Every structure is written in C-alpha cells, then in structure tokens.
Amino acid sequence: MPFWAPNPKAHRSPMKVARAARPSTTSIVRPMQPYDGPINEESPAVSQSDTSDDEECEGCPRERVVSNSSGSKDFCVRNMKLAAFGRREIELAEHELPGLMALRRKVKAEKPLRGARVVACVHLVAQYAVLIETLIDLGAEIRACACNVMSTQNEIASALAEAGVPVFAWRGQTEVDFWWCIDKVVCGDGWQPNMILDDGGDLTHWLAKKYPSILKECRGIVEESVTGAHRLHQIAKAGRLPIPAINLNECVTKSKFDNLYTTRESVIESLKRTTDMMIGGKQALVCGYGDVGKSCCKSLQTMGAHVTVSEVDPICALQACMDGFKIVKVSEVIRTIDLVITATGNKRVITRENMDRMKSGAVLCNMGHSDNEIDVASLKTPELIWERVRSQVDYVNWPDGRRLVLLAEGRVLNQNCSSLPSFVLSITCAAEVVALIELYSAPAGKYKNEVYLLPKRLGECPLYLTSYTYT
C-alpha cells in the first residue's frame, strides 16, 4: 500500500436502513435479507437523543442549507434542533474534564494560540467538543470534521454549529460524505489552516494528496491514533514528511491512561449493551497485547472469562505469559472461541478463513482504531446473509446454518457502542492542547520534519492539572 494510500477504516458507506435519531470561531456563544451494502443505524448506547426530530431531516445534510441563530451557514450537520440538548451534554462533560478545564482557565488570558488556524479531524463527541471550545478560548480559529462516520453525536455537532464553529459531521456518513466534509474544513472561504489536529491520518492524507502546498505551510501535526502515527512514521522514514509532527498516541499521557483505562471501563459496557451476553465462563481470544489488549484481557478476566492471547511481538507476548494468559495462534483455537476482540492496529488480523471456522453464535468485535482488523469486506458476498438484530449488532449467516455476531460492523467498539469515561479523556485532550501550543509557539528550527513524542515535562502537565483540581 502506498505510504499515503487511503486507510479503509471507519468511513465505508453504510447500509441504508431506518435510523433512530440522536440527539467566526474566535469566540463562543454558549447558549433477515441478503446483504446489499453496509448498515447504518445509530446506537442509543452512545447518545440518548433518540427523539423524533431527526426524522424530520431525512436525506443527506449536504443537500440542505440551514443557518444558526447568528445567521452563519458555514457548517453541515444533521439537525440543528438538537443544539440545546447537545449544549447540556457538553456542559455535563466539562465537569468530568478537570485537567482540560484547569488548563483552559490557567492560560486563557495569555491566548497562546492567538493566530492559530486549526483544522481538526476528531471524534465529534461531547469530550472533544470541550477540547474544540478550549482551543477557541485559547485564541485559535478552528474548523472541525469527524474522523469516524459512526461515532459522531449529532446533538454535539449541532451545539458546536450553534456556537459558531464551522463543523461538518453527522452520524452515518457515506465514504463520499466523509471526504467531502474533510475537504470543506480545509477549504474555508478566505481561510487556510496552519495547524493540524488529526485522529487516524485521513486529514493529513487528504492535505498531502489534494493540497500539498497548504500542508507545507502548516507549522505542525498532532496525531492521536496508532494508525495515524504509523502512517506518519512511514512518510518520515521515506523523507517525505513536510512538517514536524507529534505522535501523541505513544506519549505517556495517552498510552498509559487513555488507552489503558478508557478501554478497561468501556469494553465490558459495550459488550453488555450490544449483546446482553454473560461474560463469565466464555472462551475469549484477544488479538494483541498492547495497552488496549492488556485492558481488554484484564476486564474479561475480572468478569470470569477464560482469556487467551495471540500476539506476534515477543516482548508483549512474554508480558501476557507473565500475566497468566496462554499465548496461542488464532488458527489453533478459533473453532472453540466464544468471543474475539482485536486490538492490534493491523489489518486482516481475523481473516475470512478464520471466520469460516468459527462456531455458530461467536461474537466478533474490534477495539483497534481501524475497521479492517476484521476482514469485514470478505463477508460481503452473495452466499452470506446479513441480518440487523439491533443497533450496532449484525448476524452474518452462513449457508450451513452457522451465524456470527458482528458488532459495530468491525469499527471501534467502544467509540460506537458505549460511553467513554470523560475523566481519562481529560488527560488526553489536555495533552493535545499542550502539543498544539508547543508546535505552534516553537521557534523556527526547533523541530525538524520528523515525528516526535511530546516532551516528558509537557506530557506530565495534564496530570499535574488533574491532580491539582481534585485535591
């Protein structure tokens, strides 16, 4: 795959089915059928705005032109009637984001991001809305879109649009919609970004492919995910990275807190909400024993599951062994497994050959960033029948009568099927702000066109702020 080839992750075209509704930027005014394509239904587990309002907004949001209360039309969301509800969710999230809010209060007067024009491709959920508004309070202008077509909370996008943020996102985008939204945030009228906040690398890819001159003029990239970081390392190794970048995923504040504790608190909730399954006594296979895999194993073990691990990295495999887990090959145990969770960041970890051998009723899900860890594309064949059971839960029926239970169409399980612990995200979001300030304010020549980790003294800053807030 070329180093900037589009990553077929969370922006494939969703199947068309009935959907349940959910509910200038320098200042904020807070006021059973054969398969025929991917399925799109909203998850009530992620957002509680299941009102009838969205039913009045059928069709693609791109086909409508609406304005907020200030008359601005520079946004595209599903339903502006959800804005007030979204604002309440953002205010609720603020209370559980102490580090980020403390950082906002501490440096707001200094406006360290004055003049920064940030283009952001992130999860459009309440916690990241607080991040966006923090950047604005610190002096930045920002245009935002979603990095995942199924994680957007429509009410949050609407609340941001009502506050004057140019946001282009709605839940259940097609692939065409996804790239259109990225293009809209890059190409604002009379506006050109000079900072990039990315999650997954798609925004950076789009700039490198379509607008290389704009990319070269930016001061830096802050990348949150392991997938995006891998892509940055690829082009940096080839000597083609035009600007400095900070890999936030491997910084201590992200890997040791967000990856670990967010997963620990959300993976069981996601499984319970989607399947109502009893975890105790189940044979579970976790693919990958990085920080996310460790948390999955610990949570499943605590609930009484019999956990085995597949891992190709010898150090991580040894860690799993020392933690009491049996190391196996997927092909050796797949016939007996009740639950498979992928958490590697690699593609086709679970192949069609593996799935052909799995027992009927086995549950299959992904906790890695990309949706191609499970080879879902290989399941889209005429002989297999897809059946939507409930939101984010599909039966994939084999001709011999077996069926697999696929969660969230192979996308990130906890981002699509559960809530996330705001307190832990407070640390990650604060680290993103610190990283943006560092790159934006760094003197010329301090950072070369390479991929860096956030300096330790800066990476610890969100921890001190969070600790101070709670003492």
Contact 405, 249 (CB under 8 A): no
What single letter denotes the amino acid at residue 406?
Answer: L
Work out the widest C-alpha separation in the chain, in whole angstroms.
66
Tell me how crowded residue 400 is: count the other CB atoms within 10 A of its CB.
Answer: 8
Query: Does 295 score more than 80 pLDDT?
Result: yes
* Residues facing residue 146 across a β-bridge: 122
Share of the chain above pLDDT 90, in %: 68
The number of helix segments (H) and strand segments (E) in the chain equals 18, 16
DSSP letters for 241-271:
--S-EEE-TTSHHIIIIIIIIIHHHHHHHHH
Contact 116, 140 (CB under 8 A): yes
Supply the pTM of this predicted model: 0.78
Q: What is the pLDDT of residue 467?
A: 52
Residue with token string 């304010």: 441
Distance (Å, whole) CA 426 – CA 331: 39
Q: Determine phi and psi for 264, rounding to 5 degrees.
A: -60, -40
Note every long-range contact of 394-399, with CB atoms under 8 Å and residues 24 or more positions apart, other chains counting. Answer: 394/39, 395/32, 396/355, 397/32, 398/356
Looking at 135-144, 245-254, 301-310, which range is the least confident one? 245-254
What is the dihedral angle through the alpha carbons of 293, 295, 298, 301, rounded to the nearest 10 degrees?
-60
Handedness of CA 284, 287, 292, 297 (dihedral sign): positive
Where residue 92 falls (left for φ over 0; alpha for ψ -120 to 50; beta otherwise) is alpha
Q: What is the pLDDT of residue 57?
A: 60
Query: Does 460 score more than 80 pLDDT?
Result: no
Work out the angle between the directed axes of helices 83-95 and 126-137 (0-180°, nearest 10).
80
Q: What is the pLDDT of residue 194?
A: 96
In the chain the first and final C-alpha atoms are separated, in Å, by 50
- pLDDT, tens only, 7-55: 544 444 444 434 334 344 444 444 434 434 443 444 333 443 433 344 4
10 Å CB burial of residue 3 (0-12, 13-18, 19+) is middle
Q: What is the pLDDT of residue 455?
A: 81
Dig out the tokens for 105 from the structure: 């209060």
Note every long-range contact of 188-194, with CB atoms under 8 Å and residues 24 or more positions apart, other chains counting. Answer: 188/74, 188/143, 189/74, 191/117, 191/141, 191/143, 192/117, 192/217, 193/117, 193/118, 193/119, 193/143, 193/218, 194/115, 194/116, 194/117, 194/218, 194/219, 194/440
Distance (Å, whole) CA 398 – CA 382: 10
Q: Determine phi and psi for 99, rounding to 5 degrees.
A: -65, -45
DSSP letters for 12-34:
SPPPB--------TTS-----EE
- pLDDT, tens only, 414-442: 888 887 788 888 888 999 999 999 999 99
Mean pLDDT of the chain: 86
Q: How confident is the model at residue 465 (pLDDT cuts 50, 70, 90)?
A: low
Dig out the tokens for 169 from the structure: 């996102």
Q: What is the pLDDT of residue 427?
A: 86
Q: How confident is the model at residue 129 (pLDDT cuts 50, 70, 90)?
A: very high
Contact 318, 325 (CB under 8 A): no
- Residue 72: C-alpha distances to residues 161, 169, 183, 365, 378 (Å): 9, 16, 19, 40, 44
- pLDDT, tens only, 336-391: 999 999 999 888 999 999 999 999 999 999 998 777 899 999 999 999 999 999 98
Share of the chain above pLDDT 70, in %: 85
DSSP state of 280: T
237: Cβ–Cβ under 8 A, 6 or more apart, which residues?
Answer: none
Q: Which helix (H) or strand (E) holds 389?
A: strand 385-390
Query: Does 262 score more than 90 pLDDT?
Result: no
Q: What is the pLDDT of residue 58?
A: 66
